[in-house]
Amino acid sequence: MNHSKTTVQRYEEVDGLRAVACALVIWHHVANAYAEISSSGLYFRSLAVGANVGWIGVLTFFAISGYVIPYSLRGARGEGVKRFATRRFWRLYPPFWFALLATWLLNTSELSAARLGWNFTMLPSLGGMEPAAGHFWTLEIEFVFYIVVALLFLAFGRLGWKVILPVYLILGACYLEWARFDHEDHWRWTLLYLWIMFWGALCREIMQFDFARWVGVRWVGTARAVALGLSTGALLMRPLKSALFGFLDGQRGTLLFGMSTSTAILLFLFWVIVFRVRLPGLARLGRWTYSTYLLHAVVFYGGLKIIRGFELTFLTGWPLPVYLIALMVLCYAVGGLAYRWIELPSDRVGHRLTNRPPPE
């Protein structure tokens, strides 16, 4: 179960889970958008809403970021942060700007110049603006995480378990005790997202930790399992409690939060850590997920706008699963093209500027 510490290789289990997480988000959005023009199969929408599949996908993305991102910070502190910032900029911003412009072209009447301008920063809330597209809010959370890990690296150097574990515990304590303080609930959600991210980082540290030095070779597996169980159990306490009391009290929203949050955590744990599910085809799709995630709303809302605007009645009245499959394929196809022609070349610029080729 030991994971290599090589930072430039790609982990197929991580890329594969990215593809699954992105598919869950697309399912949620397409099912809600196309239910009105579907003739049957609406149980796919009911399942998407009832299982909160979009939320599961988003939280899975956060856990993956925690597992991967801190380990791209290495070397001397100042130089490491500079390299990290350069690569993150070229990796994220050009594809995002392309998706933002595509979103603006699709909704020109809904995006003011001020809102569009603030969205170009990827931090629209700093200007009191809403994201240009509903799913862009996750990018702001990711940005906050990047800032946190960069500051931790500047302060402590290598982000090993001696840094990750205390931050994980502090975030958990703050999230669990937040209700005692008179603050906006938005920040409590942010604490949850960061807690999940640092749990992902802690899982990686546990998999790399040399337990044999402390418990002997015979007990390494047991010690690692206990460490994973304790860290995951702490994270699951609130979601499982919410699921239980939501069920007992008949509070559907609380039940849904608890079940879907627990599902996302366990999905990451078993897919990436326990079983290390490696499916090469799925992993390849997973490499396209950033571009696919950015552009999927443009694809399916654009399709819906064309169908309604041009009154293409022959494209209405199909079963919802047909729309789901067709648009899932189309979203990944567009994402793959954007990855090939926008994201990958941009990522290479960042790596050239920091004198290292991107991972294959």
Task: For the chain, 360 residues long, give each residue's pLDDT as a single digit of tens.
Answer: 444 443 446 799 999 999 999 999 999 999 999 999 999 999 999 999 999 999 999 999 999 999 999 999 999 999 999 999 999 999 999 999 999 999 999 986 678 899 999 999 999 999 999 999 999 999 999 999 999 999 999 999 999 999 999 999 999 999 988 765 555 677 889 999 999 999 999 999 999 999 999 999 999 999 999 999 999 999 999 999 999 999 999 999 999 999 999 999 999 999 999 999 999 999 999 999 999 999 999 999 999 999 999 999 999 999 999 999 999 999 999 999 999 999 999 999 999 999 865 655
CA pair distance 242, 236, nearest whole angstrom: 10
The whole-number pLDDT of residue 186 equals 73
Task: Count CB-CB contacts under 10 A for residue 262.
Answer: 19
Task: Count CB-CB contacts under 10 A for residue 167.
Answer: 20
- Residue 96 structure tokens: 């995002």
Q: Which of 261, 149, 133 is nearest to 201 (CA)?
A: 149
Residue 35, Cβ density class (10 Å: 0-12 exposed, 13-18 middle, ≥19 buried): middle
Residue 132's φ and ψ, nearest 5 degrees, are -65, -30
Q: Which residues contact 338 (CB under 8 A, 6 or more apart)?
A: 95, 98, 99, 288, 291, 292, 294, 295
CA pair distance 157, 114, nearest whole angstrom: 38
Q: Where are the domains of the chain?
A: 12-353
- Residue 245 structure tokens: 């009391």
The amino acid sitting at 255 is L
Element (H, E) at 52: none
Indicate the SS3 state at residue 72: helix
The CB-side HSE value for 215 (13 A sphere, CA atoms) comes to 13
Q: Hunting for tokens 């950015």 — which residue is that?
A: 294
The whole-number pLDDT of residue 111 equals 85
